[in-house]
Structure 1
Amino acid sequence: MSSDAHCEKLREVGAELALGVLPGRERAEAVAHLDGCADCREYVRQLTGIGDRLIGLLPDAEPPPGFETRVARSLARQAAGAEGQRPART
């Protein structure tokens, strides 16, 4: 495989690598490529930073039981109400 093909493959799996969920063999191949490719190292470094910031957005506690159901129902009611509204005349 050429270097370009290695870079393309890394871009396909880079997010999984950055999040630490890439399976063993693929991870080993990706890390071996990163040893010699500064562009891909930077790409994965940026993805890792984004992943770290996203994790910081997670709530500290689980939502209360039924939260998802209440939100889904509220969104459905709002969508149904929006469909029945007429555009305002000017």
Structure 2
Amino acid sequence: MTDRDCAWLRSVADELALGVLSGQERAEAIAHLDRCATCREHVEQLTPVADGLLCLLPGSEPPVGFETRVMDRLRLNRPARRRRPRAAVGGGGGGEGG
């Protein structure tokens, strides 16, 4: 992991607060925040703003029939199940070794 500086952290702080920073960069940013109180405070100030912005997004429902279409496609893409022949179960002779 490389040592990232404060200027880099400030350039990605908004993405970090929104939770959209890529995995490796997120790990590096969090490692930097563990060492740097100034950057940590900056990100802490951005987090409520990011949360507020996400709350402004309108909710949406999937279109009518969405679930049915998804389930139909899942059934179409599933390979056909093979039936295995069942072994005969029962008493009596007819077997080998007898």
TM class, shorter-chain normalised?
Answer: 0.5 to 0.7
**What is the TM-score normalised by the length of structure 2?**
0.54
Q: How does 1:1-90 map to 2 (within 5 A)?
A: 6-61=5-60
Question: Greater CA radius of gyration, 1 or 2?
Answer: 2
Corresponding pairs, count: 59
C-alpha distance in structure 1 between counterparts of 2:20 and 2:54, whole Å: 14
Gapped regions of structure 1 (runs ≥ 5): 63-90
The percent of aligned pairs where both chains have the same amino acid is 61
C-alpha distance in structure 2 between counterparts of 1:58 and 1:24, whole Å: 24
Gapped regions of structure 2 (runs ≥ 5): 62-98
C-alpha distance in structure 1 between counterparts of 2:51 and 2:44, whole Å: 11
C-alpha distance in structure 2 between counterparts of 1:60 and 1:25, whole Å: 30
**What is the TM-score normalised by the length of structure 1?**
0.58
**Higher relative helix content:** 1
State the Cα distance separating 1:18 from its structure 2 match.
0.7
Equivalent residue, structure 1, for 2:85:
none
State the Cα distance separating 1:60 from its structure 2 match.
3.4
